[in-house]
Structures are given as C-alpha cells and as structure tokens.
Structure 1
Amino acid sequence: MPLKRKNYLTISKSGQHEIVIKKSRFICSFTRTKTVEEAQAFIAKISKKYHDANHNTYAYTIGLNDDQVKASDNGEPSGTAGIPELKALQLMKLKNVTAVVTRYFGGTKLGAGGLIRAYSNSITEAAQNIGVVKCVMQQRIEFSIPYNRLDEVNHYLEESKILIANQAYTTDVTIQIFLDLEQIPQIEEDLTNLLSGKVEFKKLDQRFNEIPITDFNFHEQ
C-alpha cells in the first residue's frame, strides 16, 4: 500500500521583503529548498550579495516533519535572530524553505526583545508579502458526459470549487478534474446522482497542486 503523502504549506515563490525599524534595515530573502545543500547554497548566495551588511542571519526547515532544521544569529546576541526566525517558520507551518534576514544597523540598539520581534516579524511579513500556498495531494479524475448536461455539471463543479484540469469536446464532453483524496467518494457520488447514474470515472495520476492561501490563518490549514 503506498504511503499517503501529506499536504503542506510553503511559499509561492522566491522573493524578498524589507522592513525598517529605528533606521535598521531588515531584508528577508526567501526561497524553497528541499535539501540541506540547497539551503546552504542559498545562504551563501545571499550572504555574498549582502557582504557589507552587519548580519546575515538565517533559518531553514527541510522535510514535511521539520526533519532537518538550523538557525544562525550570525553575530547578533545569542537567541535573538535565528531561533525567532525558525520559530516563525514553524508557527506558520512552512515546509522546505530557507530564509536569510540581512540587517543593516541603523545606529539605535533594539535590545534583545526588540531584535527577537524584528527578526520574527521580518519572516512573517515577508512570507505574507511573497505569498503562501497549500500544496495539496490531488487525484486526477476523468469522466464523459453528453453536451446537454455540460452546463449543470460545470455549475456543480464551480459551486463546489473543484479544479478543472481539462475539457475535451468530441462525441461527448470528456472532463478531467482534480480532487483532494478525501473528496473523491463524495464528489463521485454527487456527480453520479446528478447524472442519474450514467457516468463512469477513471482515475489518472496524482500530483501536488498549489492552492493560494489568502487568510493567513495558518493554525487551521
């Protein structure tokens, strides 16, 4: 029996976001990384780009169970940068990501508490600004219907917020949809009832599809 693959959250793409606190610039650089080697390469790249900065702190989490994590304060007081960044990543439940927060000191010391908030907020604001997606394991399902049932089927799919992969128009209309694995029985039952039993479903491939997260209520994802 194949292992069930977990859904997870990650950033939508690589990107940067800057905040300024008491004239100190905090530049958060984000990317997706699936291995420690990819994480290290990204950290080295950003650190080289901002080689004149006061600090290039970082945190990464690899694996859907946070299998490999690491954080660095890069010269900031111990526990005020890397760990708050890592905790922010874990609080948002982001997986397979690396973040480097670059600081250009503005002349005013923030204190330990101020630094912790600044580095943590830099991560959170950057993730929200860049965008977060939910990677959902879905099954591609194919079925065919007569043309005169297309409008009602499309209406049902739209109302149910089901992703249509493809529609092909030949003798009948062949529709491919993506369903969450736990959705399959109910959706197939609904469509069977809608079409009075005159439908057959064919399971095709499974894949992760990325669904944008807009409410940022990470605890409920």
Structure 2
Amino acid sequence: MSKRESYRVIIENGTGEIVEKKSRFIANVFSVESQQQAEEIIAKISKEYWDARHNCYAYVIGVNGENTKCSDNGEPSGTAGKPILEVINGAGVTNTLIIVTRYFGGVLLGTGGLVRAYTQSAQAALASSEIGEMVLARKLTLKVNYNMINNVQYYLSQNEINISDSRYEADVEFDICVKENDVSRITDGLTQKCEGQITIIEGDKDYYLL
C-alpha cells in the first residue's frame, strides 16, 4: 500500500463551549500520537471534571485514520461520541482527540438536541485549534561556505521553503524538507544558484510539517 501524500493534524490544541438549555458543553481538542496517550488524557480530563455528568469523546489516530474510538459515556447511544467523531472526520484531521464535558442543566435535550450540542461544541473547539499539514517529503542537508549563505537563503525564500535547522561551523549547514516531486528541481536550482559550490545530502523520506 502506497503512502498518502499528506494528512492534517492538530498543531495547537483548542477549546470551545456552548450552553444549551442550561447545560454546559465544554469541548477540548488534543493532539495525540497513540491510543495509550489518548486514554491517559481521557482519564485526566475525567478526573479534572469529576463533578460533570458526562465526559464523552472520540479520537482518530494513524496516518490513514485506522484507529478510531468514540464513547457516549452514559448519554443515549449515538448522541455524543458518534457526532464528535463525525466532526473529526469532517475536518479531515487525524491524531486527534476531542473530549466534550457536559454539566447537566436540569432540562432534557432529547436525541436531536444532544446531537446538535455535542456537534456544535466539538466544532467550536476544533475551530479554535491550529491545524497543520504533514507532507510526505525528503529531508535535505545543504552544506555551503559562508559566502554562499545569502544565495541559499534567497533561493529558499523564493521557493517558500523553511529552514528547519542551521549549524554554523567551518562551513554552514541548513536542513530543509522538500516534497519528493520537487527534490530534483530544488537541488538543481540550489546548485545553479551557488555556482556548484554546495553539497546536498539527501536524508530520510518521511512526513514533515511544511
């Protein structure tokens, strides 16, 4: 199975809250890398909001979203966990956990009301999060002498490529990540820009935040 070109993840966690007929729905979004990490956060939030009526959640983990789970945590079946999961899938993000805590306000919302409340609170939290794209790319290390620094930086800027790390020693080394399809074009362009006075070392092909 070939790797997908990119996937979306949470870069900065977010929160959201709505009130529906006196019930408070507090949603928290977390970036997670494993099921164990997700379960630990769920346990922590459940302890933090120990006095809440429900702590419902859903998570999607894996490049292809292969690991999913949702829980209604005592709400009527399908009214909480599934709507939260649908918000995650609708946003096209993975490695994401959303927990919605409900403080009961004394008024029953009914099935439709619960679905709307859990959906809207999860959407609000996701909207306050920062989402980034992990792209299948090649890491390149650029090695040049000091009089070529401006040439390299100018070329990278023109091609909207960020420098992920820099090392200033006898020579200067820059680490960059380039989409696999662009590697030949970028390496040729850098070689030309530096008049051949550059060494380019190809590193691992992996997912990087570009």
What are the equivalent positions in structure 2 for 1:6-155 lying under 5 Å apart?
7-14=6-13, 16-155=15-154
1:140 and 1:203 in contact (8 A); partners too: yes
Deviates more, 1:175-184 or 1:90-99: 175-184
Partner letter of residue 30 of structure 1? V
Residues 141-192 of structure 1: CA deviation (Å, up to 9, x unaligned): 1233454443243122112221113444456544332222232122112223
1:164 and 1:175 in contact (8 A); partners too: yes
Partner letter of residue 150 of structure 1? I
Instruction: Find the aligned partners of 1:62 and 1:96 in 2 and give their Cα distance.
Output: 4
Partner letter of residue 181 of structure 1? E
1:29 and 1:46 in contact (8 A); partners too: no
Residues 91-132 of structure 1: CA deviation (Å, up to 9, x unaligned): 112212222111112344444333222212222221231322
Instruction: Find the aligned partners of 1:136 and 1:22 in 2 and give their Cα distance.
Output: 43
Residues 11-35 of structure 1: CA deviation (Å, up to 9, x unaligned): 2245543233343211112323333
**RMSD, aligned CA:** 2.8
Q: Which runs of 5+ in 1 are unaligned?
A: 212-221
SS of 2:99's partner is: strand
Q: How high is the sequence identity, in percent, across the aligned residues?
A: 39
Aligned length: 210
TM superposition shift of 1:65: 2.1
TM superposition shift of 1:90: 0.9
Instruction: Find the aligned partners of 1:126 and 1:79 in 2 and give their Cα distance.
Output: 20
SS of 1:123's partner is: helix
Deviates more, 1:175-184 or 1:55-64: 175-184
